[in-house]
Each structure stands twice: as C-alpha cells, then as structure tokens.
Amino acid sequence: MENSFNLPDNGKKRIVIIGAGFAGLKLARKLAKSPFQVVMIDKRNFHQFQPLFYQVATSGLEPSNISFPIRKVFHEHSNLHFRNTELLEVKAKEKIVVTKAGELSYDKLVIATGVNTNYFGNKNIEEHSISMKSTAEAINLRNRILESFENAILTDDKKEQAKQLSVVVVGGGPTGVELSGAIAELKNYVLPKDYPELDFSRMKIRLYEAAPRLLHVMSHKASDDAYKFLTKLGVEVHLNTMIKDYDGENMTLEDGTVFKVQNFVWTAGVGGKQINGIDKEFYTRGNRLVVDRNNQIEGLKDVYAIGDICSMNTEKWPNGHPQVAQVAIQQAVLLAKNFIQNTTKPYEYHDKGSMATIGRNMAVVDLPKLKFSGVIAWFLWLVVHLMAIVGVKNRLFIFINWAQGYFSRDHSLRVLIRPFKK
C-alpha cells in the first residue's frame, strides 16, 4: 500500500514526521536539503499558530492570518514531502506507520503531534464546554460569542440577557488570561457600539483557577500583575476555585455552589492522546511519551518524540519541560542536527523567558534576569509573536490588524459565519 503515498524511490533513508506544529515544522525545515527523504503527515494541510487562537476567537484576527499552508513551506525542497492524512497506528518492530491513506515504512519516526485539551475525565465538561486548541475551535468560539450577543438583543428578559452576555473561562494559564482580557476589552470598547440597546453592565466575565495564583508557570510578580490588569479590565478572577461539573446550563463548583452559565470556555489543562501500537508503559503523566536526552522514546528504537507530547526528565527539569513553543523548537533544531551529523548530543533547554498579554498596553514578561510588565512588556510581546509567525504576508496582515486595533480599538472582524439549514 506504500505506493498510495506516491513517493520517489531514490534510496534515501526516510524520516517520517507526524504533526505540523512548532516542533514538526521546525524539524522538517531544518532537514531541508539534508540527505534524508522527509515525509510529514498531518490531518490538516496547514500550520496553525496556537498562541494567537484567542485573537481569532475574539475577532482580533482572521483565521487565515495565523494559518500557513504546509506545502508552501516545502517549496523548492525536493526532499520534503507532505501527505494530508491521519496516523492510526505505529508498528515499531516493522518500522511502519499505518494511516488512513495506507502504510508507510520509515527509517526514523518522529512524533510531534502536540497535545489536546485535557478534561481530566469529566465527560460532561468535555461534551458541553467550548475548547480552543485549533483554528476551527477558535472560529467556533467566535461564532458562539457573537451568537450570544445576537440572541441577547432579541429578548427583553433581563435575566436571559445577562446569561447570554456573560462568559466563564476556566483555567488561569496564558490562554485563559489572554482570552479573558481580550473579551473584557471587547465589552469595554467595542460591543456597546455594536449593540447600543443592551446594558453591558449585565455582562460578567469570570475567570476560574484551581491554583492559588494565575500564570503559575511564571513568576509571582507576573501572576500579581496579571491579576491587577484583569481586575482593572473588569474581569472577576476566582482563585483556589475548582469546577466540579458543567452540564450545558449549570456550572457546579467544588463546594456545591451552582451557577447558570451559557458560555463556558475550558482552558484548564492539556494532555496527549495515546497512539495505537505504542504501549501505555511508554507514557507518563498527561499522556506524554517518555524520552531520553536525545528525544528517543525510551524502549523504542528509532522512534522519537519532540514538543509538548514528550516528557524528558533532567536535573533542572525533573518533571519534564514546560509545554511551550521554545522547548519544541529547540528540541527540533538539535534533533535535526543529530540526524544530519549522526551524533547524539544531549538536549538541554535554554529558557529564553515567557510572556503573556492581558490587554492593550498590558502584558507581563519573565526574562531570565529581568521581570517587568506594562507598556514595554506589551510591545515586546507584539514583536516576539510577530516574528514567530510563518510567512511574510501573514506578518504584514497581522501587523496591519494590530495597528488598526491599537488606534481604533475596533478590528471590524466580528463576522458570524455558519452553515444555514435548508
């Protein structure tokens, strides 16, 4: 069935990469012009810039601005090949991957599938909440928010209006903090102009976090400043508060308190998805694959994992590295070098810092030797994320959108796109 992949038989050793996220795409680009035949497999035909999903969800950016066709990245590199299909199984002993398009042999396999939303086994929350781990889900969240506003203006029932307008975000990590801040800015500066008939004092934005502080992977200063910024924007922040259940209408807290909730967004955790053919013994907490210092899955020859899906224990990081883009990119760069040079240089994470934005002129930055927040942090966040975007055209469009939004506080992208039933 390998012929179904229509790959040239040139005698080159084949590296198969599963996943076109930060890790997979960086690895493929670093292997361009290498002596290997590189085959990337992904169920989507585009790379998506996850840190800006929340801006798509809040009408700040168009979905196309943060998406980039994988095939365009592979232009002019005859050894790079992309196949739009989905991984079904890994047969490590036979060195074969099974996909929906058929079977494909490999000399080295790299799993870079990333992680999905983790609901911690709560089926009700998984079924009824809104998640944001893909471009499609970000568009769905945008539609859900806009639909709620349109529904609110169709009724004069004050309680129903309050329910439609209000938003609950669960999870005080970067995604939850940034999403809450963006929705608050919509409420404060944009939506009252779109819907002058509505009383937006009834719109409540609540952020729930089970931990005692926001942004727990960052410094205490960043956590405190983020809390102050969100509070200034009008977000109700509830720390040390765990959500027990949500059935699509009622949200239940751990202490038994019940609230009526229409828009319930879950950003509280991430976890990997176990792959058929790779036994449970190779996984650790969060369904992450255990790898050695060369990113090879411990116990599987010539099978590697990079990025969020892998867990590498080191002296500095005994519980694995943080699941951030820089870890994925650095692992990909070193692995490509080891493949090309046939070396086994061990990976060591070089922490360049972390950051999160809350609103206009409001951001927090943790650098290795400096921690700060405010306007300068916000501009630094803009520059770093703009330069990380794949594609000059995408960078230009995002810059224009950000510039327009900064001066007008209105992106004019609040378009509700949905299929209509015949």
Catalytic residue among 178, 209, 298, 348: 178
Round to whole Å and give the CA distance between 102 and 123.
Answer: 32
Active site residue 89: no
Enzyme catalytic residues: 178
